[in-house]
A = this chain, B = another copy of it.
Amino acid sequence: MDTTMNSNIAANIRTQRLASLIPMLSQMIPDHAILSEPEQLKAYECDAFTTMRQMPLLTVLPDTIEQVQHVMRCCHALDIPVVARGAGTGLTAGSMPVENGVLLGMNKFDKIHDIDLHNRSAWIDPGVRNQAVSDATAPYNLYFAPDPSSQLACSVGGNVAENAGGVHCLKYGLTVHNILELDVITIEGERITIGGQALDAAGYDLLALMTGSEGLLGIIVGIRVKLLAKPASARVLLAAFATIEDAGNAIAEIIGAGIIPAGLEMIDQKGIQAIEALMHAGYPVNAAAVVICELDGSVKEVEDELNSVLTILHRLNASDIQISTNEAESKRIWAARKAAFPALACLAPDNYVMDGTIPRRALAQVWTKINLLADEYQLLVVNVFHAGDGNMHPSILFDSSDEDQHKRATELGTRILELCVQVGGTISGEHGIGLEKINQMCLQFTNNEISQFHALKSAFDSKALLNPGKQIPTLARCTEFHSMHIHNGEMPFPHLERF
């Protein structure tokens, strides 16, 4: 009865909003750029976190900044929520529509406007694909550093919204470290420019604030990305270990030696076996773990560092060491690593990828605890992760058609994130919060801190129309989460050391 009433109310709101919004939008937006048929809207009901879905009221596909401003002004005037969407490759339901809200597709903004070789930057549209930037700048021996696994498809606007990382962010930073300037449209339809070409900009650091704000503060319509020179030399090294501890120590010692590899990854035995079954890349299937380490820089620098890394690996009983001697061999090693997710898809229909980040010191300990938790919940968890920066990506494999499995996977995910928080880490390394981890924000932050986030959100969007309900939980939600919590607020491993 309640459900019927709610859905009746929702249907009424829908009718009213469509009636007022469409004529207003049409003053500036051509009809073909306003999608309202269910079969058109279906394509926009989720991002890559496919277990949560919601149809939007409308999808609008503007192709000029003025049109974006118009959409914002209409929605602001009529109090209609707006969710922006790039390529829809997000992993946390961050660009999932909200009920009876507008979905703003930024796909048509796909131009690279200017490549500035002197200042090593390019001014690009938000809908430009990540890989397309590096492709366009390759003739000048330049590239855009952030390289999320989805880089063939994902848009740079989405990278900014999520502050995306990738295997090379250990050395070259996250998206926030690789952009210089943004053009943003506020919910009132005003255009503001933040950041600049200088190392530091005057005033508050709105560039960093906007980066990673998941569409809650404004709509990104232009991006000046930083371009880096391709290193003269890059070599990839793969090593096998008989124990997790030795592999974890290898990571710690490489970093401890003052080396910052371009990438430093770790895969556990289940991951190795799954990848090898799919890719036949020559990964050592009997190892407890493999470490992949990429070194780049000048030829001599790479030689120097390679020798230091080899010394460490030998001391820690590494075996089956493979070292690439050319680009093709490097690509072979990386291609297998990058195929980890397709490989895991062969093991189970669903994969709940966690994105917790922990202090490097805690790697071996947390890994052991995750395996204990996996046993407790009777689920397979595979660890394939960016070990160099402590960004773990444990994959919980399950079958969502089995309701009990689905429930167990969700609970296990929560406990793994609790574990990350407990050792001094964070619930999100590079995927963002979206809706997926909104409850876990209550673990990470105090009520004071969450209130400060809300005050800040309100400074940009006082009516809370931009991507509402995502990223920052209400205090009421946190109270409910803490009260319903399976451990009654106790940490899962009360005696665990905080690093």
Which B residues touch A348, using CB under 8 A? Answer: none
Which B residues touch A176, using CB under 8 A? Answer: 205, 208
Which B residues touch A361, using CB under 8 A? Answer: 118-119
Binds B, one of A101-109, A131-139, A401-409, A425-433: A425-433
| A: interface residue count bin | 35 or more
Is A202 a contact of B441 with CB atoms below 8 Å? yes
Is A424 a contact of B196 with CB atoms below 8 Å? yes
Is A357 a contact of B444 with CB atoms below 8 Å? no
Is B199 a contact of A389 with CB atoms below 8 Å? yes
What copy number does this chain have within its complex?
2
Is A458 a contact of B459 with CB atoms below 8 Å? yes
**How long is the Cα–Cα vector from A176 to B232 in the complex, in angstroms?**
29
Is B304 a contact of A448 with CB atoms below 8 Å? no
A303 within 8 A of B: yes
**How long is the Cα–Cα vector from A425 to B446 in the complex, in angstroms?**
39
Binds B, one of A29-37, A294-302, A482-490: A294-302
- A186 nearest CB across to chain B (Å): 7
Which B residues touch A246, using CB under 8 A? Answer: none
Is B390 a contact of A198 with CB atoms below 8 Å? yes
A455 within 8 A of B: yes
Binds B, one of A187-195, A275-283, A325-333: A187-195
- A217 nearest CB across to chain B (Å): 8
A460 within 8 A of B: yes
Give the residue name and chain of the B residue nearest to A208 (CB). Answer: B208
A376 within 8 A of B: no
Flag A372-401 by CB within 8 Å of B: 1 or 0 each: 000000000000000001110000000000
- Tell me the A418-448 residues at the B interface (CB within 8 Å): 424-430, 433, 437, 441, 444-446, 448
Which B residues touch A205, using CB under 8 A? Answer: 163, 176, 205, 208-209, 211-213
Is B300 a contact of A426 with CB atoms below 8 Å? no
A453 within 8 A of B: yes
Is A197 a contact of B301 with CB atoms below 8 Å? no
For the complex of A and B, 4 pairs with smallest distance between CB atoms: A208-B208, A229-B258, A300-B300, A198-B357
